[in-house]
Amino acid sequence: MIPHPPPPTPGPQPVADRRPAGAGITLSGVTRRYGQAGAAITALDEVTVSIQPAEAVAIMGPSGSGKSTLLHLVGAMDRPDTGTITAGDYAVHDLDRKAAAAYRRRVGFVFQRFHLLSALSALDNVLAPLLPMRIRPDPQPKAVALLDAVGLAGRERSTPAQLSGGQQQRVAIARALINDPIVVLADEPTGNLDTTTGADIITLLLDMRARHGTTLLIATHDPTIAARCDRTIHLADGQVLEPTEGG
Ligand SMILES: Nc1ncnc2c1ncn2[C@@H]1O[C@H](COP(=O)(O)OP(=O)(O)OP(=O)(O)O)[C@@H](O)[C@H]1O
Ligand SMILES: [Mg+2]
């Protein structure tokens, strides 16, 4: 009798094996209005969405549809008028000032205009989020390693003016990762970059997600970027349109 061959051994499953670092995020009935009653603008209107830990989600929609507002609310840079927001164990809608500051240290932000400090070197920009804190061990080797990981080894001493737009955005990504974030919020991170450079930046963000299991939200107008995410949330006039899989 011929013995059955052993069942194929499963290949490496790097994501499943790793302790997930990313937070699940929920928004439930979230409304944000700006301005006075009468002339009020409803930037987000009863938004309910659920995002899995380590999911990469694109936020799309016309200008003014509420993409940035949504990211600001998830990042506790703004508060909803009504509704609840959670990220991991944090009740984001309900944090006092101190708790909000602590939560924001667990969030990485990447912006369209990079928002680097022009007087500081690339290395010091990456270290900047740690400045208010006394950190041990010395965080500098980690910042150097992050700059290396985003392809900027040897450019630690360069200032933003000495770097291209794509390189500046790489510094911003390294800076976003210095605190081991549970979520990275990227608001049109390729908006100031040419198509090829922008595609490289998205590769870097998705790579970072794959390596660290960080939940990733990217607001974008670019459907090719959205197609590279796990899922797209479409906004129109502050409301979520029906979800579609794979972009
Ligand atoms: N601080 C603010 N004060 C008043 N209105 C605001 C404020 N921030 C946003 N809005 C309004 O809320 C709505 C949603 O704005 P938001 O910036 O979220 O849109 P967006 O989808 O990010 O647009 P874009 O693609 O142009 O970046 C818009 O009508 C905008 O004018
Ligand atoms: Mg915006």
pLDDT at 201 over 80: yes
pLDDT bucket at 127, cuts 50 / 70 / 90: very high
Q: What's the pTM value of the predicted model, to 2 decimals? A: 0.89
Q: Measured from the CB, is residue 36 less than 6 Å from ligand 1? A: no
Q: Please give the residue that has the higher pLDDT: either 227 or 137.
A: 227
**Position 146 pLDDT exceeds 80:** yes
Which of the four pLDDT bands, split at 50, 70 and 90, describes residue 164?
very high
User: What confidence tier does 2 reach under pLDDT thresholds 50, 70, 90?
Assistant: low
Q: Which of 67, 220, 221 gets mutated to test ligand 1 (max ligand atoms within 8 A of its CB)?
A: 67
* Residue 235 Cα: closest atom of ligand 1: 21
Specify the residue with its C-alpha closest to ligand 1, atom 18: 66
Q: Is the CB of 63 under 6 A from ligand 1?
A: yes
Distance 190 CA to ligand 2 centre (A): 12
Inter-residue contact 218 to 231 (CB < 8 Å): no
Minimal-distance CA residue to ligand 1 atom 28: 64
Distance 203 CA to ligand 2 centre (A): 21
**68 CB within 6 A, ligand 1:** yes
CA 188 – CA 107 distance, rounded (Å): 17
pLDDT value of position 17: 43
Give the H/E segment covering residue 219. Answer: strand 215-219
8 Å CB contact between 218 and 202: yes
**Helices 195-212/165-177 angle, 10° precision:** 20
Give yes or no for residue 65 CB within 6 A of ligand 1.
yes
More confident residue, 24 or 114: 24
User: For residue 243, is pLDDT > 80?
Assistant: no
Atom of ligand 1 nearest to the CA of 70: 18
The CA distance from 92 to 80, in Å, is 10
Atom of ligand 1 nearest to the CA of 64: 19
Cα of 62 from ligand 2 centre, angstroms: 9
Instruction: Report d(CA 216, CA 67) in Å as an integer.
Output: 14
Ligand 1 centre from 68 Cα, in Å?
7
Q: How far is the CA of 85 from the centre of ligand 2 (A)?
A: 19
Mean pLDDT, the chain, as a whole number? 89
| Radius of gyration of the chain from its Cα atoms, rounded to whole angstroms | 20
